Amino acid sequence: MSEPGGIGNGGDGAPEGESLSVIFRRLIANYGPITIQHYFGESNARYYTAKDPLGSEGDFVTAPEISQMFGELIGLWLADMWIRAGKPEPVHYVELGPGRGTLARDALRVMARYGLTPQVHFVEGSAALKAVQLEAVPHARWHGDLDSIPHHGALLVVGNEFLDALPIRQFARMAEGWRERMVGLADNGAEDGQGFLPIAGEKPMDLAVPVELREAPEGTIVETCPPATGIVYELAGRLNAQGGCALLIDYGHAHTRTGSTLQAVRAHRKVDPFVNPGEADLTAHVDFEALSRAVLSREGKWLGTVTQGHFLRALGIEARTAALAAKAPAHIVSLETARDRLIEEGQMGALFKVMGIAAPQWPDGAGF
Ligand code: SAH
């Protein structure tokens, strides 16, 4: 799932250790502006390959790192689906972008209690994170994309905060029609890390804009995420063929919206995405409606898209918090704080969505 034709990943003949800013600067100076998708894809390939960005010491904190309850409830959901589907074997647990492997470890522990012990497959692009994942789940197998995941056996697929890291395209409605948003040089200064700027491309791009948005007024920005749509389309086809289900969890909107959601996060703060590419996490909100259309276009079974708060409450996070608190009364406050972070509206409960997909012959999922 890494971007093809990339620069800056060792394949471009660039001197070792050169910053991505310098590489982009040279590229743009020689060949003209690059797409946002190119800039975003190269930036995150560089960003994730080098380091573990997760946790309080890193750049951002994700739900499985907040509480074990997150992974446990996902494990419970998968076990429930598998049991009601008739306990098919062989069965594979597939996680997209597993970070530190925390979600997988928590989910697999719960699944084992129900007799579900799948083979474990991680789709991961980062060498630094693979090393961390190996510690958490030593028996996992690693893959660069979905193609090498076994084509026989049911698939139980999870991706948390994976799709938001995939590169988007942006289109802007100008007086003369739709244009792709590109990244150019703001000036001709050579100062490292300075001076990238979004600018409108020259070519007409009307046909690349989803048809229902084409009449939007001048000034509108529309985002698409071709790699996310492609992965979900592929996933729906694999579930149809092999059986199984998938949960994709991320921040984003249940219904397509316009406007730029491109963001860069570094040390828990928003920073300018057009400064120091490769040194902050670039993200964009996930358009779950576009993804549900990809599932339906493949004749897959879309279970729905609900808020994370709704989903975790439906799976019993309140009871799970109480049970853990009863075992460890000293931790009641931290348990309740973690629960609230995951489910309260002003925290992760409303912005984060959970989308479910299943094979047509599989049951409807709990919580949708
Ligand atoms: N799911 C984890 C980590 C989220 S961060 C958690 O919730 O804590 C995003 C994850 O996706 C990281 O593991 C990152 O290395 C991986 N990733 C990002 N872009 C990728 C790509 N193009 N191909 C494969 N993995 C990618």
Q: Whose CA is nearest to atom 17 of ligand 1?
A: 97
CA distance linking residue 155 with residue 132, whole number of Å:
24
Task: Tell me which residue has tokens 């590109």.
Answer: 182
The torsion defined by the Cα of 119, 120, 125 and 129, in degrees rounded to 10, comes to -150
Residue 302 predicted with pLDDT over 50 = yes
Name the 3-class secondary structure at 138: coil
Take atom 16 of ligand 1 and give the residue whose Cα is closest: 97
Span 4-25, average pLDDT: 62
pLDDT digits (tens, 9 = 90+) for 110-139: 999 999 999 999 999 999 999 999 999 999
Q: Is 8's pLDDT higher than 70?
A: no
Which pLDDT value is given to residue 12?
43
Structure confidence at residue 7 as a pLDDT band (50, 70, 90): very low
Helical (H) or strand (E) element with 196: strand 196-204
pLDDT above 70 (res 2): no
Measured in residues, the chain has a length of 368
Confidence of residue 10 (pLDDT cuts 50, 70, 90): very low
Q: Where residue 191 falls among pLDDT bands split at 50, 70, 90?
A: low
Residue 294 has pLDDT above 90, yes or no: yes
Please report where in the chains the tokens 């990244």 appear, as a residue. Answer: 183
The pLDDT score that the predictor gives to residue 5 is: 33
189 vs 86, residue with greater confidence: 86
What pLDDT is attached to residue 212?
Answer: 92
Find the 178 Cα to ligand 1 centroid distance in Å: 31
Give the integer Cα–Cα distance in Å for 366 and 368. Answer: 6
CA proximity to 161, closest of 88, 228, 113, 114: 228
Q: Is the pLDDT assigned to residue 58 strictly greater than 90?
A: no
Q: What is the pLDDT of residue 56?
A: 77
Nearest to 236, CA basis, from 146, 291, 298, 293: 298
Ligand 1 nearest-atom number relative to CA 48: 15
Residue 90, preceding peptide bond in cis (omega within 30° of 0): yes
Q: Is the pLDDT of residue 192 over 90?
A: no
Amino acid in the structure at residue 301:
K
Mind listing the pLDDT tens digit for each residue in 79-113?
A: 999 999 999 999 999 999 999 999 999 999 999 99
Pocket flag, ligand 1, residue 201 (CB < 6 Å)? no
* Ligand 1 pocket member 307 (CB < 6 A): no
Q: Is 48's C-beta closer than 6 angstroms to any atom of ligand 1?
A: yes
104, 140 Cβ separation under 8 angstroms: yes
Ligand 1 pocket member 243 (CB < 6 A): no
pLDDT of residue 60: 87
Q: Ligand 1 mean position to 95 CA, how many Å? A: 10
Q: Provide the sign of the torsion angle of the four alpha carbons 70, 67, 126, 131, taken in this order.
A: negative
Query: What residue ranges in 19-64 does DSSP mark as E strands?
Result: 34-35
Report the pLDDT value the prediction gives residue 283, as an integer from 0 to 100: 97
- pLDDT value at 9 more than 60: no
As a whole number, the mean pLDDT across the chain is 93
How far is ligand 1, taken at its centre, from the CA of residue 98, in Å?
6
Q: What pTM was estimated for this model as a whole?
A: 0.93
Query: Could you tell me if the CB of 58 is within 6 A of ligand 1?
Result: no
Residue 226, pLDDT score? 97
Strands 286-287 and 244-253: parallel
In terms of Cβ atoms closer than 10 Å to its own Cβ (0-12, 13-18, 19+), residue 152 is exposed
Give residue-wise pLDDT tens across range 220-251.
999 999 999 999 999 999 999 999 999 999 99
Q: In a 3-state reduction of DSSP, which class is residue 152?
A: coil
Q: Do residues 221 and 258 lie in contact, with contact meaning Cβ atoms separated by under 8 Å?
A: yes
pLDDT confidence of residue 15? 53
CB of 367 closer than 6 angstroms to any ligand 1 atom: no
User: In the predicted model, what is the mean pLDDT of residues 353-362?
Assistant: 98
Q: Is the CB of 49 under 6 A from ligand 1?
A: no
Q: Does residue 228 line the site of ligand 1, with CB under 6 A?
A: no
Query: Confidence band (pLDDT; 50, 70, 90) for 188?
Result: low
Per-residue confidence band for 74, with pLDDT thresholds at 50, 70 and 90? very high
Let me know if 151 is exposed, middle or buried by CB neighbors in 10 A (0-12, 13-18, 19+): exposed
